[in-house]
Chains A and B, each alone.
Chain A
Amino acid sequence: MRAHALRRLLVLAVILAFVAAACGDEAEEATTTAATTTTGAAGSTTTTSSGDTTTTTAPFVIEPGLTGLSVVDDLTFTVQMAEADPEFPLKLAYAAYFPLPKVAFDDPAAYEESPIGNGPFMMDGAWEHDVVVPMKRFEAYAGPDPAQIERLEWTIIDDLNTAYNEVRAGNLDVLGPALPTDQIATAAVEFGDRYGLSSSTSFTYFGFPLYLPGYQDLDVRRALSMAIDRDLIVQQIYQNTRVAAFSTLPPIFQGARAHVCDNWDYNPDEARALWDSIDHPDSLIVWFNTGGGHEEWVEAAANMWRNTLGIEDITFESMEFSEYNPLLDAQGATGPFRLGWGQDYPSPLNFLEPLYASYNLPPIGSNNTWYDNPAFDGLIAQGKSAVAASSDLADGIPFYQQAEDVLCADVPIAPVWFRTNQFVYTEGIGSVYYDSYSDLGVTKITSDGGLVSVQLSEPEHLFPTNSNESNGIQALRALFTGLVQYDPSNNEMFFANAESIASDDGGLTWTITLKPGWTFHNGEAVTAWSYVNAWNYGANTVNAQQNNSFYAGIAGYAELNPAG
């Protein structure tokens, strides 16, 4: 008996030891070993003497590269496009076009834990996964817009309700660009002058499956569109924190109009009369994705169709976006389907060409309605050549507006609403704004204590050529400054790291010159190679970078991405 008891105790002790071992903090610094393939790096290292931009040996070069990229001198490189792209400079604010220092290619996985960029902020220690991405001001920043605060902490909080409570308690300084659903109506009252609202370009619409016979009838689409009371949806469901959409171009854009044509307006009587006069479907299947909070407004719209048009039999099909997206690409939607779009760069073209041009069909393009109208394609082409001829974005706008008129007449989609950025912040924080990308303006923000903590969800990556979701990009935009940026007040482009970007052949070849004297956070000079290497790395399929498609317009892309 006693021996038995002893043995039992021994077993218990072993179990307890196991738990205690699991509990301990022994796994402090587990170093990640990179499995990422890097392309062969030819040439020797670039040695810089403390901020001096002269390289003493041959530059570090990523090979193979895009044939369209060639370095002229330390601060100049040229970009040969596969096809003329007059709006190329506008695109260059995106993370995919940021420069990278040499250290990024040595060990990308290690680099990502503490990225070194050329932006107004630098990492203040390593990225602590699921907890914080710490940053501090880069004192040697050469850019036009240095940071006002000393430290910037991206606090990782996934749940918006939790983050909201943290702002209430004063522990978290800024929460945006979205607030918890239950708080969107009351936040303005609760936070008073520490509450803000700004324009975003995020756009939500119903697409119609033009590949189905039932939806090829223009009047069916017109009636469905005119039966949606967009103002009511925005008022009742979003307490006016979103903007009803009667057009496809975001209100903040040059060339955006509040009203395009009657087909996108609310007109219940005409919708009903039209519906009754045609051979209409008796039932409707409405498609949307879960996880984006779309249930409420989609149901509201369905009720409007039920009440206004008298369609009794309306059913819903919903699924996770990972399943929804391929389904739409395979023409799987059998009724109106919900989709959204956000800007890659602020130009009307970016809201027209990818979504409706006949040559942008899925799975490569995003024309999920399979809309095909030569008149529309023609106007887009005309707009592009007008911009190419004068290098003035404004010259394209009349054509883009006409293209939008064509869309409105054809109703391949019914716009529903535009999102806005909604944010709250604590006492002592000033100059808070979220720009048209829905990113926080990190350089303008001020803080009495010199520190600002901002809510973020855990980024997937912190690597410019591999980051394509909002969390990673938002953090990267503090660490990097690209060739161009946008003035948040009027959404106009200005040169940031670029001295000039010019083309004298209508956008086929671009010559990009950098401002001198810029350095990365580790002192390495920002040169033409910093850009060319980064783009070459991102464009090569071997590296499996998620922003790979952003280099598709540059000559030589196909060679780096052989099919099959």
Chain B
Amino acid sequence: MGRYLVRRLLQFIPVFVGATLLIFIMVWAIPGDPIAALAGDRVLPDTVREQIRDRYNLDDPLIVQYGKYMGGVFQGDFGDDFRGRPVTDLLAQRLPITVRLALFAFGFEVVLGIIAGILAGVRKGGFMDNLVLVSTLVVIAIPIFVLGFLAQLVMGVRLGWFPVSGVQRGLYSYLLPAMVLGSVSLAYIARLTRTSLIENLRADYVRTATAKGLSRRRVVGIHTFRNSMIPVVTFLAIDLGSLMGGAIITETIFNIPGLGRAVFEGVQRQEGTVVVGIVTFLVVVYMVANLAVDVLYAVLDPRIRYE
């Protein structure tokens, strides 16, 4: 187990270098001069433009730019954005916001999703099963921005139950966006849990357990449920990653200044430092989440061993 962890952690290094290099190349390949674009319709004098390009090493060959960037990163300097603010400040400002939103959404989808999945799965074809199937289908079918604006208009503007947007009302501000953000994953989790549970309920060991005279509650709750969680946990790990980075639409609708919007704006402005810094961070989050899942497998299924 210990050796396994070390090996997995060592794998982080090439993934980290590869990911940063790839993202760097992609940002670099976006056509247009980001510095000239800073001035919008107006013309930036060449002398000033050169001055700023110099400051961001934009005239160096790609690999030199990358080398300078990585050199800074290893000293804890993630560079500045085009407004002159350090990217580490940006991360420090936006990360807590995104983490709050992601954790709220994650908690919401895990709790409700698994409960709905179990309720549907234990009695296949029953009323709850059909209710869950139909409602999740509806949620999956509606695009997230429609759902977002609808929730905002109904629950925020008309009913006034939640803040319409922004993060100025503390944790309460995150509830509605988290529900919107988590809704689609919730539907997937419910369906995944249901299918997995139904499948496992037909397994031999379940019949054995039932034959031994164990109560239904124990058969489902202990023996089947744990095994059924393996595909769900796999999904959750990936989903946590996308919650951190993929909340652009929700963050925009609810005016939440999180990482997703920062990346989006960074791409638009071709701010290599911002995009690479944040995306690299997200890559690390993905990797850690995946590692956590692999470790969790062993908890869920004692037959799985790591060497």
Contact = CB atoms under 8 A, between A and B. Distances in A.
Interface of A: 1, 4-5, 7-8, 11-12, 15, 18-19, 22-25, 27, 30, 32-36, 109, 129-132, 155-159, 161-163, 165-166, 168-169, 171, 319-326, 340-342, 362-366, 460-461, 468-469, 541-542, 544-546, 548-549, 552, 561-563
A128 B169 CA distance: 15
Secondary structure of the B side of the interface? helix
Contact of A24 (B93, B96, B164, B268): B96
Interface string B97-113: 00110010000000000
Given A1-B302, A23-B99, A541-B45, 13 more contacts: A8-B298, A23-B100, A32-B86, A35-B55, A130-B93, A156-B257, A159-B253, A166-B164, A320-B268, A460-B82, A468-B39, A469-B40, A549-B44
B22 interface: no
A25 B1 CA distance: 34
B59 interface: no
Nearest to A109: B84
A34 B168 CA distance: 28
B147 interface: no
B45 A552 contact: yes
A22 B40 CA distance: 36
Given A158-B255, A162-B253, A340-B41, A4 B298 contact: yes
Nearest to A563: B47
A30 B254 contact: no
Contacts of B100: 23
A342 B298 CA distance: 65
Contacts of A169: 156-157, 160, 164
A158 B96 CA distance: 20
Contact of B166 (A15, A131, A322): A131
Interface in B269-286: 270
19 contacts: A12-B295, A15-B288, A22-B99, A32-B84, A35-B55, A158-B252, A163-B255, A165-B165, A166-B165, A166-B166, A169-B160, A326-B36, A340-B41, A342-B41, A541-B47, A545-B48, A549-B45, A561-B48, A562-B47
B164 A27 contact: no
B167 A561 contact: no
B111 to A, nearest CB: 17
Contacts of A319: 31-32
Nearest to B249: A159
B33 A322 contact: yes
Contacts of A562: 47
Contact of B95 (A18, A22, A469, A544): A22
Contacts of A342: 41
A161 B96 CA distance: 25
A468 B257 contact: no
A366 B43 contact: yes
Contacts of A546: 38-39, 44, 48
Nearest to A560: B47
B165 A157 contact: yes
Contacts of B47: 541, 548, 561-563
A27 B90 CA distance: 10
B55 A544 contact: yes
Interface residues of B, number: 67
B2 interface: yes
Nearest to B52: A544
Contacts of A366: 41, 43
B199 interface: no
B86 A7 contact: no
A27 B93 contact: yes
A30 B89 contact: yes
B45 A131 contact: no
Contacts of B253: 159, 161-162
Q: Counting chain B CB atoms within 10 Å of each CB, which of A5, A323, A546, A562 scores highest?
A: A546
A23 B103 contact: yes
B299 interface: yes
A241 B291 CA distance: 56
Best-surrounded residue of B48, B88, B152, B157 (most CB of chain A within 10 A)? B48
Nearest to B48: A548
A29 B51 CA distance: 29
Contacts of A162: 152, 164-165, 252-255
A12 B45 CA distance: 55
- In the A-B complex, the 9 residue pairs with the smallest Cβ-Cβ separation, listed nearest first, are A27-B92, A322-B37, A130-B257, A323-B32, A322-B32, A544-B51, A541-B47, A169-B157, A23-B99
Contact of B43 (A23, A320, A364): A364
B79 to A, nearest CB: 10
Nearest to B288: A15
A27 B89 CA distance: 8
Nearest to B289: A15
B43 A363 contact: yes
B292 A15 contact: yes
B269 to A, nearest CB: 8
Contact of B31 (A27, A155, A158, A323): A323
Contacts of B80: 35
Nearest to B100: A23
B45 A22 contact: no
A159 B256 CA distance: 11
Given A8-B299, A11-B295, A326-B32, A165 B153 contact: yes
Contacts of A163: 255
Contacts of A321: 37, 40
Given A165-B157, A168-B157, A542-B51, A129 B93 contact: yes
Nearest to B31: A323
B63 interface: no
A549 B295 contact: no
A321 B268 CA distance: 10
B96 A33 contact: no
Contacts of B204: none
B246 interface: no
Contacts of A548: 44-45, 47-48
A12 B292 contact: yes
A433 to B, nearest CB: 24
A157 B255 contact: yes
A544 B168 CA distance: 35
Contacts of B1: 4, 7-8
